[in-house]
Structure 1
Amino acid sequence: MASKLKPVFISAYVTLLAVGSIQALYNIVFKSPIGGWVGVLLALGPMLYFFIKLFMTDTARTDPELRNYRLLTWLGGLITVYFGWSTPDYAIQILYSGFVGIFGIALYLNWYSKFENRETTALSVGNPLPDFILQDENGNSISSDAFIGSPTLIIFYRGNWCPLCMAQIKEVSAQYQQLADLGVAVALVSPQPHENTRNLAKKFSVPFKFLVDTENAAAKKLGIFAEDGTPKGLELLGYDSDTVMPTVIITDAQGNIIFADLTDNYRVRPEPDTFIQILKEHTVAP
């Protein structure tokens, strides 16, 4: 049940942040008294800015607790109460600041952002990478056995719609030459439509393997499947409602797992230098 509520929550949350911020700004400019609406704008605006900023970032991680954003949200709520309590718009102001602002950010941080039950024996370090079948961007089948023969960095990402996934791919692309010099292959895997994967491959123009996990078959086998993990509404753009939890796997040339990052927060991905460090620690790379 919780997994089905998450995609509805995130779409509704961002929409209400935008609507409330616009309404607050309108009332500040054209109406009076404005004190309560200033509080509403402060309670909603920072998180709206946060989501807009996500789509422009080149960094695949944020502060897990978003401390500054929480502080501004609570400050906005206090301003709303102090200045708005005697005004005709007090009820709607409290709804925006208290419910959408304070309650919304609490749900986003403590519930939506986090994954549960990420432990999976299929990705235990030292074990061989399980067998599974993927497809390239043109629909040709590729077995996980194709990763044997060279150390491989495998990144399971949610899709082109996910800004932090795109930032993570940007970071790895910037490391391309260093990884290539070490003999490391890179495979990027997503359950998104093939056309989206082809577009991504054209965008980055690096010799990575851009692969598709049809119907999340590999994700289910590896224990990293995210049922109803796609925000509501993205189905209109061709994305399936199910997706994958962001996961990074590094295998050695024999196909054994030497590193697996199963983040419990979608906003926290490994630092890009971590991959090089892991490879050197396991003497996979010189």
Structure 2
Amino acid sequence: MKKITIVLTLLVSMNTFAQINSEHLEIGDDAPIITGVDQFDNKINSTDLLKDNKIILIFYRGNWCPHCRKHLKTLEENLDALTEKGYAIVVVTPEKVEKTKETTKKLGSTFSILHDVDNSIMNNYKVAFEVNEKSVPNYFSATQKKLAEYNIENNNVLPVPATYIIDKTGKIEFVHYDPDYSKRFDVTELLD
């Protein structure tokens, strides 16, 4: 009976993520330049940040996602230690600007959150996927409602919740990319 349960679980998991493209940027690739305005109205440019820091780049779906909130809370709790180790933090989301401000207020976040205006950052890093019944078969209706509330009108795109670390030369030195939205990179591993 256990074997049947395990097989069924694997098949459901494979079906859930089968439509999300697993092609993404890899270690050693050039990191696309990131530009935008964060929730504090600061202009962010990765070229400038890389002069003095490595960048931890995190893509999240929205503050409607409990896994995202937990991940960002852990990030904020460890922000000082990460900064001391020479990391600048940039978080990217398709959420509207007002929702990024809500996230900041709700979580007490002090790191930069960029609203990906035209999904260009997500597309450049190859983490964007269209939310449809094939890519999100189990929660399509609920996810569609959240996108209508949190993303700009007619934007039914989400990122795979990925983490990239970019070194000072502009190369990707670490990638965590997992279509399973519940699996995130634990930033505390960088502190060991």
Tell me the TM-score normalised to structure 2 length.
0.77
Greater length-normalized contact order (CA 8 Å, ≥ 6 residues apart): 2
Gaps of 5+ in 1: 1-66, 72-102, 278-286
The residue identity in structure 1 corresponding to 2:157 is D
Kindly state the Cα deviation for residue 175 of structure 1 after the two structures are TM-superposed.
1.4
Partner residue in 2 for 1:244? 159
Per the TM alignment, residue 236 of structure 1 is displaced from its structure 2 partner at its CA by 4.1
Equivalent pairs counted in the alignment come to 175
The answer on 1:270 being equivalent to 2:172 is no
**Residue type matched to 1:170 in 2?**
K
Paired residues of 1:156 and 1:246 also in contact (CA < 8 A): yes
In 2, the alpha carbon distance for the partners of 1:267 and 1:108 equals 15
Identify the residue that residue 145 of structure 2 maps to in structure 1.
Answer: 233
Q: 1:184: which partner in 2?
A: 87
Please list every run of 5 or more consecutive structure 2 residues that lacks an aligned counterpart in the other structure. 133-139
Amino acid paired to 1:205: G
Distance 1:139 1:226, change over 3 A: farther
Q: Cα deviation per residue 1:154-192 (whole Å; 9 max; x = unaligned)?
A: 101111111111111112122122212212111111011
Deviation at 1:141, TM superposition (A): 5.0
CA distance in 2, matches of 1:141, 1:273: 27
Pick the aligned partner of 1:221 from 114, 120, 124.
124
Partners of 2:156 and 2:123 in 1: how far apart?
A: 15
Local SS of the residue matching 2:164: strand
Map 1:92-131; keep pairs closer than 5 Å: 108-113=12-17, 116-120=20-24, 123-131=25-33
Written as runs of structure 1 = structure 2, the 5 A alignment for 1:36-185 is 108-113=12-17, 116-120=20-24, 123-137=25-39, 142-149=44-51, 150-185=53-88
Largest Rg, 1 or 2: 1
Identity of aligned residues (%): 25
Q: Deviations over 1:38-84 (max 9, x none)?
A: xxxxxxxxxxxxxxxxxxxxxxxxxxxxx8xx68xxxxxxxxxxxxx
1:233-260 residue CA offsets vs partner (Å, 9 max, x unmatched): 2244242321111110111233221101
Deviations 1:118-155 (A, max 9, x none): 222xx222233112433322666533323312011110
Tell me the secondary structure at the aligned position of residue 153 of structure 1: strand
Q: Please give the alpha-carbon distance, in whole angstroms, between the structure 2 residues aligned to 1:238 and 1:175.
A: 27
Provide the rounded CA distance (Å) in 2 between the counterparts of 1:165 and 1:180: 21
Identify which of 89, 99, 105 aligns with 1:202: 105
Structure 1 segments of 4 or more deviating over 6 A? Answer: none
Contact 1:216–1:244 (8 Å) recurs in 2: no
Give, in whole Å, the separation in 1 of the partners of 2:17 and 2:23: 17
Counterpart AA for 2:156: S
Q: Relative to 1, partners in 2 of residues 1:132 and 1:180: Cα closer, same or farther, differing over 3 Å?
A: closer
Q: Which amino acid is the alignment partner of residue 267 of structure 1?
A: S
* Aligned-residue offset at 1:203: 2.6
- Aligned residue for 1:255? 170
Aligned mates of 2:55, 2:34 — CA distance in 1 = 15
Q: Which has the higher helix share?
A: 1
User: What is the TM-score with the length of structure 1 in the denominator?
Assistant: 0.54
